[in-house]
Chains A and B, each alone.
Chain A
Amino acid sequence: MKFVRNVTSNEVGWREGDVELAIAHETIARWQFGITTVYHFLFVPLTISLAAIVAGLETAWVRTDKEKYFHATKFWGKLFLINIAMGVVTGIVQEFQFGMNWSDYSRFVGDVFGAPLAMEALIAFFFESTFIGLWIFGWDKLPRKLHCACMWMVALGTVLSAYFILAANSWMQHPVGYTIDPATGKAQLTDIAKVLFQDTTVTVVLHTLTAAFLTGAAFMVGIASFHLWKAKRKPESAAAAPAKVAVMRTSLRLGLVLAVVFGLGTALSGDSLAKVMFRQQPMKMAAAEALWDTKAPAPFSVFAVGDVSKGHNSVELEIPGILSFLANSDFSSSVPGINDTAQAEAAKYGGDPKDYIPSIFVTYWGFRLMIGFGMTSFVAGVIGLWTTRKKRFLAPEFRTGDTEVPRLMLTPKRELGPFLTKWSWRIGILTMGFPLIANSFGWIFTEMGRQPWAVFGLMTTASAVSPNVGIGTQIGALATFTSLYAVLAVVEVKLLVKYAKAGPVTDERPPTEDPTLRGPASGDDADKPLAFAY
């Protein structure tokens, strides 16, 4: 394995032969990858979920002709477009930076890793980008059923896109379906089906997609809560805009249902993924738990302070047996600890066991924050779904109409008091971004937990960097992306807030005539303005 440099050796093999410089190269490239990827992934889950949600809302409009669905489609569609613009452009960086910063990685894995990336572009990305153009500009050009189908195509494209990218990432986590070419020392693809359908890929896809929908759900609940809570406090202005309340009420309920379904899905798929990881990357999971020594039964750690140099935790609060259950579905089974796993990896790949231990602080807290933020949104969804329930479970005098703000009901006859009502709505608003935080920590955990490996067991991150890119260039690129992304974040968030606060434009009428592909529906008016223009 030519490409695995001995991680403890002093000859890291840089041109200058300077270990410090080599580490700096790797560090800067990793910071760039981390910043650009976490940033990109703020937009990805919202894009995936909102595409399908908007497509669903438009389908509801096409099928029922109810205006509230039309307005909801337009409103969430607008927020979706503001979001996807950023997702698309930051995605280009992702494809380029493998070659720019990680050329030795690209040479080593290209034969395997390039295939899902190329498939993503050819199969998924074309789909998404072409049909989004049709959807944005096609309101007066396409028959409404076809227009709605375009959004479903976009939704399909985003899901396929995620699939291929996650298959590529899964191969880094758990390389399968390849052989190392003895002549070149590079990985070669032998079985694409294994790469696309291995259990790592399948579980991580389920986990990522369910989490994406939980993200979209919390986003919807947050914005709907904002509008409904405002309407509740100012009943006279709400009464003046019943259509707005109706859109937000529908959105709230839809968001809550999705939060519960996909919150549960995220937890279940996360459990399956953890079991796969316990098998494939025991170090990552031991690090996630700061479990220094192998234990049977192993406890689940709630709180700990680790000390890498000493190899144990100074403070710890744990629940007995739970970790054994999470790893093996058995409360008393043995779970390998960090020290034993590091010994085993050092014996297998050479070097000092210490070099195989990822940052325990980052993995341990990343894992906890991921679960904490994600599950808070799920629990909030469950509570919200119950308290805002409609007709059947409520006494008649507490029922609210479609254009009224729902009362928050504990039991069929008992409404929450003013304090709890206020805080329930506020929690709905405040937890809006929780899954986004959970997603970020999830990625930071899984990528940091794989270190020191770029491709687990095959190539270290240190040996993956471009050897010919100067440190000044790298720093320049990192500074450029960081500052550009910071500016764009401000622009994007301000725009989202502006449109989210404005709420649906309910005086807009849906088109009276269904356009045909032959030309404008009303025929003769050639100078009619476009339905949408940049």
Chain B
Amino acid sequence: MELHDVWFVLIAVLWIGYFFLEGFDFGIGILTKPLARNTAERRVLINTIGPVWDGNEVWLLTAGGATFAAFPDWYATLFSGFYIPLLLILVCLIVRGVAFEYRAKRPEPRWQRNWEEAIFWTSLVPAFLWGVAFANIVRGVDIDAQKNYVGGFWDLLNPYALLGGLVTLSLFTFHGAVFAALKTVGDIRDRARAAALKAGLAAAALAAVFLIWTQADNGNGWSLAALVIAVLALVGALLANRAAREGWAFVLSGATIVAAVAMLFLALFPDVMPSTLNPEWSLTVTNAASSPYTLKLMTIVAAVFTPLVLLYQSWTYWVFRKRIGVQHIPGHDPAAALDQG
């Protein structure tokens, strides 16, 4: 395995980590509307991810930065080509981050409602758009000889990509509902399991079609193995959820995301962005990669720091391991809200 192959795997790992972690963050954000019945319940949901969402989002920044360093052409083609979807994602992530931090900073109900509304939409839109983006990467887009995307925005909204968007949307909602069931206590916990069942069935139907479509168009032996694992994990997650084994349900819904994203990357390899205009113009792990020096340097940095990151992020989850319910939400007394720095 050469260094650029190692880096293909590492980039895949970073995206998998991002979708695993921010997947349930997005799901929680989406569920604030259908699942939570009142402000207190919305706050319960938001606070299940309160201490961790920011650290989770850094997986995206790292995936972006690592792509820039290891595959500059991949980074340049992808980011300039998928300009409008990425712009929308950026706007959502900006508003979403501010919404979490500022929601409780003023007592007025209107202020809080507005930020809650923002949390819902800014979770929903990226959850959909990431699927659209990744489906397009795997499917291939119009890339010219200079490695530039020459298609338009509307070309990105093809049926396959839109289906991909629905898959990530439903899968993240399922993952979020399973996470909510794992992290809450009281009435909302039971309803989270019921919501997980619905979202999980939708995700299973959509993902089955999407992944088989992917396998038919771009698949290979390895991607087929990942597909089977993804399907089995999803079925297992649904069964565990039904049996109220919330820990297992979360592990398996996470495994579904891991396997599904891994499958996309396996179907992609050795291309990183195939061209639909001419296979010669496709970006591959070799023609988009950095020099061996940079790859080696970054390999050392990643080998030292990735385990460290996993260690202290896991510790964070352990520190905040306790389930929360409405009784744990500090009072709604408007005067007190100002004091909750």
B81 contacts the other chain (CB 8 A): yes
Say which one of A75-83, A290-298, A357-365 lies at the interface with B: A75-83
Bin the interface of chain B by size.
Answer: 35 or more
The answer on a CB contact under 8 Å between B97 and A88 is: yes
The answer on a CB contact under 8 Å between A86 and B62 is: no
Find chain A residues with CB under 8 A from B341 CB.
Answer: 74-75, 77-78, 81, 499, 505, 532
Find chain B residues with CB under 8 A from A78 CB.
Answer: 341
Find chain A residues with CB under 8 A from B269 CB.
Answer: none
The answer on a CB contact under 8 Å between B50 and A534 is: yes
The answer on a CB contact under 8 Å between A114 and B68 is: yes
The answer on a CB contact under 8 Å between B291 and A468 is: no
B324: nearest chain-A partner, CB-CB: A530
Q: Report which of B47, B67, B102, B319 forms a contact with A142, defined as CB distance below 8 A.
A: B319
A189 contacts the other chain (CB 8 A): yes
Chain B, range 309-323, C-beta contacts under 8 Å to A: 309, 312-313, 316, 319-320, 322
A103 contacts the other chain (CB 8 A): yes
The answer on a CB contact under 8 Å between B76 and A529 is: no
A11 to chain B, nearest CB (A): 16
Q: Report which of B50, B65, B331 forms a contact with A529, defined as CB distance below 8 A.
A: B331
Given the known A-B contacts A114-B72, A188-B293, A528-B328, are A534 and B100 also in contact in the complex, defined by CB atoms under 8 Å?
yes
The answer on a CB contact under 8 Å between A533 and B104 is: yes
Find chain B residues with CB under 8 A from A106 CB.
Answer: 68, 72, 75-76, 79
The answer on a CB contact under 8 Å between B54 and A132 is: yes
Given the known A-B contacts A189-B294, A468-B149, are A122 and B305 also in contact in the complex, defined by CB atoms under 8 Å?
yes
A497 contacts the other chain (CB 8 A): no
Chain A, range 462-505, C-beta contacts under 8 Å to B: 466-469, 473, 476-477, 480, 484, 488, 491, 495, 498-499, 502, 505
A447 contacts the other chain (CB 8 A): no
The answer on a CB contact under 8 Å between A115 and B51 is: no
In the bound complex, CA of A495 to CA of B338 (Å):
11
Find chain A residues with CB under 8 A from B277 CB.
Answer: none
The answer on a CB contact under 8 Å between A82 and B94 is: no
A129 contacts the other chain (CB 8 A): yes
A119 contacts the other chain (CB 8 A): yes
Residue from A86, A109, A117, A121 with most neighbouring chain B CB atoms (10 Å): A121
Find chain A residues with CB under 8 A from B264 CB.
Answer: none
Given the known A-B contacts A114-B290, A533-B330, are A133 and B80 also in contact in the complex, defined by CB atoms under 8 Å?
no
Chain B, range 263-310, C-beta contacts under 8 Å to A: 290-291, 293-294, 297-298, 301-302, 305-306, 309
Bin the interface of chain A by size.
Answer: 35 or more
Contact string against B for A residues 127-151, beta-carbon threshold 8 Å, 1 for contact and 0 otherwise: 1011111101110011000000000
Given the known A-B contacts A107-B72, A122-B302, are A495 and B294 also in contact in the complex, defined by CB atoms under 8 Å?
no
Chain A, range 371-397, C-beta contacts under 8 Å to B: none
Chain B, range 42-77, C-beta contacts under 8 Å to A: 43, 46-47, 50-55, 57-58, 60-62, 64-73, 75-77
A-B contact count (CB 8 A): 263
Find chain B residues with CB under 8 A from A122 CB.
Answer: 62, 65-66, 301-302, 305-306, 309
B220 contacts the other chain (CB 8 A): no
Find chain B residues with CB under 8 A from A7 CB.
Answer: none
In the bound complex, CA of A95 to CA of B325 (Å):
37
In the bound complex, CA of A120 to CA of B149 (Å):
28
Find chain B residues with CB under 8 A from A469 CB.
Answer: 80, 83
Find chain A residues with CB under 8 A from B322 CB.
Answer: 519
Find chain B residues with CB under 8 A from A517 CB.
Answer: 319
B169 to chain A, nearest CB (A): 21
B41 to chain A, nearest CB (A): 13
Find chain A residues with CB under 8 A from B71 CB.
Answer: 110
Given the known A-B contacts A121-B65, A141-B319, are A82 and B102 also in contact in the complex, defined by CB atoms under 8 Å?
yes
B198 contacts the other chain (CB 8 A): no
Q: Report which of B69, B90, B97, B293 forms a contact with A85, defined as CB distance below 8 A.
A: B97
The answer on a CB contact under 8 Å between B319 and A90 is: no
In the bound complex, CA of A532 to CA of B43 (Å):
12
A197 contacts the other chain (CB 8 A): no
The answer on a CB contact under 8 Å between A82 and B105 is: yes
B101 contacts the other chain (CB 8 A): yes
B215 contacts the other chain (CB 8 A): no
The answer on a CB contact under 8 Å between B76 and A104 is: yes
In the bound complex, CA of A110 to CA of B302 (Å):
17
In the bound complex, CA of A106 to CA of B327 (Å):
51
Find chain B residues with CB under 8 A from A137 CB.
Answer: 50-51, 320
The answer on a CB contact under 8 Å between B43 and A103 is: no
A181 contacts the other chain (CB 8 A): yes
B86 contacts the other chain (CB 8 A): yes
In the bound complex, CA of A488 to CA of B94 (Å):
10
The 8 sampled A-B contact pairs (Cβ below 8 Å) are: A92-B61, A95-B68, A126-B62, A473-B153, A480-B91, A484-B94, A499-B341, A529-B327
- Knowing that A495-B105, A534-B103 touch, tell me 8 more A-B residue pairs with CB under 8 angstroms: A86-B98, A117-B65, A126-B62, A130-B58, A133-B53, A499-B341, A529-B330, A532-B340
